[in-house]
């Protein structure tokens, strides 16, 4: 086998999204295998705040009360963009969005697409719960780590 034939095999693998290819020709056996791509986990954690006041008696107290007249906020999780790209709520312009505010999502469910370098990347939920807010408009650019959805875990 020559270099041109090997390059054609690599092209064949890429065009058909194959991770492994094995061919035997004229007693020569060649096996091509792609290494799995492992991306580092760079999720951005929101900062946490602690309010401390000093009472006239000199004692320190933590303020855990919520703003006037509201109940304590439920904890929420964010689904963030793992890359820079263009955010799409639906698989095509004429399709319904993957998810809407108020809808329940499951772990592993596709919630949107982020297009990066002409590749459509499905973004899946890592949390089960109710979508509280969609924070980005359709076809808007997004940054790495930018919040796309706010979810109330179930």
CA 105, CA 109: separation in Å to the nearest integer?
A: 7
Please report which helix (H) or strand (E) contains residue 113, including its range: strand 110-116
Q: What are phi and psi of 45, to 5 degrees?
A: -95, 135
Please report which helix (H) or strand (E) contains residue 4, including its range: helix 3-15
Token pair in block for residue 131:
């979508």
Position 11 confidence tier, pLDDT thresholds 50, 70, 90:
confident
Tens digit of pLDDT for each residue in 26-42? Answer: 878 888 887 766 666 55
CA 147, CA 132: separation in Å to the nearest integer?
A: 12
Mean pLDDT confidence for 62-91: 74
- Residue 105 is predicted with a pLDDT of 95
- Residue 71 is predicted with a pLDDT of 44
Domains plus CATH for the chain? Answer: 3-33 (no CATH), 73-153 (2.40.50.100)
- Residue 73 is predicted with a pLDDT of 54
Tens digit of pLDDT for each residue in 90-112? Answer: 999 899 999 999 999 999 999 99
Tens digit of pLDDT for each residue in 57-71? Answer: 555 444 444 444 444
Name the more confident of 153 and 59.
153
Mean pLDDT confidence for 56-85: 65
Instruction: State what percent of residues in the chain have pLDDT above 70.
Output: 74
């Amino acid at each position: 086998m020559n270099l041109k034939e090997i390059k054609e095999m690599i092209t064949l693998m890429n065009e058909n999204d194959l991770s492994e290819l094995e061919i035997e020709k004229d007693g020569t056996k060649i096996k091509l295998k792609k290494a799995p791509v492992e991306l580092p986990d760079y999720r951005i954690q929101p900062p946490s705040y602690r309010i401390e006041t000093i009472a006239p008696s000199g004692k320190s107290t933590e303020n855990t009360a919520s703003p006037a007249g509201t109940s304590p906020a439920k904890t929420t999780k964010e689904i963030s963009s793992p890359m820079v790209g263009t955010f799409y709520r639906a698989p095509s312009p004429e399709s319904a969005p993957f998810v809407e505010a108020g809808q329940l999502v499951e772990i592993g469910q596709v919630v949107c697409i982020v297009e990066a370098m002409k590749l459509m990347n499905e973004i899946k939920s890592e949390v089960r719960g109710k979508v509280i807010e969609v924070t980005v408009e359709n076809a808007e650019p997004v940054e790495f780590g930018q919040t796309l959805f706010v979810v109330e875990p179930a």
